[in-house]
Amino acid sequence: MYEYVRGTLVEISPSHAIIETAHGIGWKVFIPFSNFSLSPKIGSSICLYTSFIIRENSQSLFGFLSRPERDLFEQLLAVSGVGPKTALSLVGHLEYNNLLCCLSSQDISSLCRVPGIGKKTAERILLEVKDKLPLSRPITGSHVLRHDAIRALIHLGYGENLAQKAVTAALEKREEVDLSSLITFALKEC
């Protein structure tokens, strides 16, 4: 129904943002955890791509910094037993390309690390979204390399968010790397 909300960021927390639009209207938009750290400063302009969810006893607006994240959120909502909070948790705890890689490679263990996702839910998600994902661009070797490097850092004891940021920073500085070099460079970013 609503494609996006553009306005001034008035308030932000790990769970929601308040965006003031024309005529002083403030929109409370629930956001994924990952968007909290990527959002601009309070008082800055922001645009969130939205998904409006109507339930029996509530109406909620969910917002994402990118359209592909919003589209993936809506695909996850189509899975039986997955509600907005679970879908938001998935999108918020796994970086977009990493989540796509987990889904396409049927990586149950990575999905189970997301708060609120158990083994049965992860299996159901993988089964139901297998052929429905918006994979307009195929998962390439670099996405697999990125996913493997993040998994390696997590196995070394680093948190999911720190591992994602370190691997992203390492990849931004280098064009061609193999897995062991990427892990080494990412460790220097931690």
Q: pLDDT tens-digit profile of 136-179? A: 444 455 677 887 888 888 888 888 788 888 888 888 887 678 88
Structure letter (DSSP) for residue 23 = G
Same domain, 113 and 162: no
Does residue 99 lie in a domain region?
yes
Confidence (pLDDT) at 138: 46
Q: Model-level pTM?
A: 0.72
Tokens of 55: 């339930």
The residue out of 64, 99, 115 marking a domain boundary is 64
Domain assignment of residue 47, given as a range: 4-64
Does residue 109 lie in a domain region?
yes
Average pLDDT for the chain:
87
d(CA 180, CA 81): 39
Same domain, 60 and 76: no
Same domain, 124 and 93: yes
Confidence (pLDDT) at 136: 42
pLDDT digits (tens, 9 = 90+) for 28-55: 999 999 888 888 899 999 999 999 999 8
d(CA 190, CA 186): 7
Does residue 133 register a pLDDT over 80? Answer: no
Same domain, 79 and 60: no
Does residue 134 lie in a domain region?
no
